[in-house]
C-alpha cells in the first residue's frame, strides 16, 4: 500500500513554546520543534509541514485564523491523505468545532493536537501526541483514509472535534467528549471504533469561510437581571444569542427575563439554548422553567457543547440562514455535533 502523505500545520501553542528569560512561555520556530522528534524523519508516511509565520498562543485564535487554516487545508487537499494541526489546547475545541462546519464533505482526517508541556521538556506529552496523531491520520483501508472528519487527539484518545471541550488545565488528558464516545484509543495497539465515525457520501470538499461574529453568550446564574440580558440584546447588529441554562435547559421564570428574550426573538435575534451541565441535553418542556422558553421560540441546542453551538451559529448565520430554516438546521446534526 502506498505511504500516506501527511501535512503537519503548526499554528503555535504550548507544544512549540520555550521559556523566555523572564520565565514566560512564548511560541518559537517550527524547525526547532522537529529537532525534538528526529524520529519523524523515518516515519512510515511522507510528512511535510507548514508553519504559521507568527505562531500564536491559541487564546488569540479567532474566525480569521480559522479561515486561514481552512485555506491552507483546501489548497493542499488533493496532495495529502490527512492533516495534523498543532494547536494550543486552550481554544482547540473551538477551532476543531469551527473547522468541522467550515469543511463540508471531508473524506480525509483533520486531526488537531498539542500538549500540556512544551516539546523541549523531558516529561512532555507532546511527542506522543504528535506521533499518534500522525499515525491515526495516516491510517488507510482500501487505499482510502479510515478517518474522515475533524478530530482532536490528546493523551491516548481520539475524539470528534465538535464534541470536545477542554476540561483540565492540569492533566495530560485535557479533553473530554462528554456526549459522544471516543473515536479511537491508542495503547499498545490503535483501536479505531469505525461504527462511530462520520462519513461523507460526497467526495468533493466544500469550504465555508463566511462566519458571523455578531453573536453573544449569556450564562444564566441565580440573580441574573433582565437589564443584563437587555444590554446584550441591544448590542448593535446582534444576530444570535446562546443561552447557557441550568440542567435540561431550565431558566428563571422571572417574566422580565422571559420578556427580554422574547423581545430579542421578535427582533430576529436567534436564541439557542444549551445546558451548563457537561453531560446530557436540553429538553425544553420537561419542566415549567423551560416550557416558556419553548413557547417564545427559543431553539433547543440538545447536547451541543458551547464550542459547537457557537461555531455552528457563526457558520449558519454566516451563510445567511434565518427564520425557520435556521431553527431547523440548528436542531439537526450537520457534522455529528449533537444527538437529534
Q: What residues line the site for ligand ASP (CB under 6 A)?
A: 12-14, 57-59, 88-90, 114, 116
Residue 91 annotated to the active site? no
Nearest residue (CB) to ligand ASP, 89 versus 226: 89
CA–CA dist 160, 25 (Å, integer): 29
C-beta of 257: minimal distance to ligand ASP in Å? 34
Phi, psi of 296 (to 5 degrees): -85, -5
Q: Do residues 148 and 199 lie in contact, with contact meaning Cβ atoms separated by under 8 Å? A: yes
Task: Look up residue 4 and give its three cell numbers.
Answer: 500516506
Of 14, 91, 124, 306, the active-site residue reads: 14
Look at residues 115, 180, 196, 181 and name the one whose alpha carbon lies nearest to residue 148: 196
DSSP code at position 155: T
Judging by beta carbons within 10 Å of its beta carbon (0-12, 13-18, 19+), is residue 334 exposed, middle or buried? middle
Q: Which is nearer to ligand ASP, 169 or 202 (CB)?
A: 169
Q: Nearest-5° angle of CA 223, CA 227, CA 228?
A: 65
Q: Is the dihedral of CA 224, 228, 233, 239 positive or negative?
A: negative
Comparing CB distances to ligand ASP, the nearer of 169 and 279 is 169
Q: How far is the CB of 116 from ligand ASP (least distance, A)?
A: 6
Nearer of residues 80 and 154 to ligand ASP, judged by Cβ: 154
Q: Which residue is nearest to ligand ASP (CB)?
A: 88
User: Of the two residues 17 and 316, which places its CB atom closer to ligand ASP in the complex?
Assistant: 17
Provide the minimum distance between the beta carbon of 115 and ligand ASP in the complex, in angstroms, as a whole number. Answer: 7
Q: Are strands 165-166 and 175-176 parallel, antiparallel or unpaired?
A: antiparallel
Rounded CA-CA distance 43/73 in Å is: 22
Minimum distance, C-beta of residue 152 to ligand ASP, in the bound complex (Å): 12
CB of 238 to ligand ASP, least distance (A): 28
Amino acid at each position: 500500500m502506498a505511504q500516506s502523505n501527511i501535512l503537519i500545520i503548526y499554528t503555535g501553542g504550548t507544544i512549540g513554546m520555550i521559556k523566555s528569560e523572564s520565565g514566560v512561555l512564548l511560541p518559537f520556530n517550527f524547525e526547532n520543534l522537529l529537532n525534538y522528534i528526529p524520529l519523524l524523519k523515518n516515519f512510515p508516511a511522507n510528512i511535510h509541514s507548514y508553519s504559521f509565520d507568527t505562531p500564536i498562543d491559541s487564546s488569540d485564535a479567532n474566525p480569521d485564523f480559522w479561515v486561514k487554516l481552512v485555506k491552507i487545508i483546501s489548497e493542499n487537499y488533493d496532495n495529502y491523505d490527512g492533516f495534523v494541526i498543532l494547536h494550543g489546547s486552550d481554544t482547540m475545541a473551538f477551532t476543531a468545532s469551527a473547522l468541522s462546519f467550515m469543511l463540508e464533505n471531508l473524506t480525509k482526517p483533520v486531526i488537531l493536537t498539542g500538549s500540556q508541556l512544551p516539546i523541549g521538556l523531558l516529561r512532555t506529552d507532546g511527542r506522543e501526541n504528535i506521533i499518534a496523531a500522525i499515525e491515526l491520520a495516516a491510517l488507510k483501508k482500501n487505499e482510502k483514509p479510515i478517518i474522515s472528519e475533524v478530530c482532536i487527539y490528546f493523551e491516548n484518545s481520539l475524539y470528534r472535534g465538535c464534541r470536545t471541550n477542554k476540561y483540565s488545565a492540569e492533566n495530560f488528558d485535557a479533553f473530554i467528549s462528554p456526549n459522544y464516545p471516543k473515536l479511537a484509543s491508542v495503547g499498545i495497539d490503535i483501536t479505531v471504533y469505525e461504527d462511530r465515525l462520520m462519513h461523507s457520501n460526497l467526495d468533493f470538499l466544500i469550504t465555508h469561510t463566511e462566519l458571523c461574529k455578531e453573536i453573544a453568550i449569556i450564562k444564566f446564574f441565580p440573580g441574573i437581571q433582565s437589564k443584563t440580558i437587555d444590554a446584550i440584546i441591544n448590542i448593535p447588529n446582534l444576530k444570535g444569542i446562546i443561552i447557557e441554562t441550568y440542567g435540561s435547559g431550565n431558566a428563571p421564570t422571572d417574566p422580565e427575563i422571559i420578556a427580554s428574550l422574547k423581545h430579542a426573538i421578535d427582533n430576529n435575534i436567534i436564541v439557542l439554548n444549551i445546558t451548563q451541565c457537561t453531560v446530557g441535553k436540553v429538553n425544553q418542556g420537561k419542566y415549567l422553567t423551560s416550557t416558556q422558553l419553548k413557547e417564545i421560540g427559543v431553539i433547543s441546542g440538545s447536547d451541543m457543547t458551547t464550542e459547537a453551538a457557537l461555531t455552528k451559529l457563526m457558520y449558519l448565520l454566516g451563510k445567511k440562514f434565518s427564520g425557520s430554516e435556521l431553527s431547523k438546521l440548528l436542531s439537526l446534526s450537520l457534522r455529528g455535533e449533537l444527538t437529534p
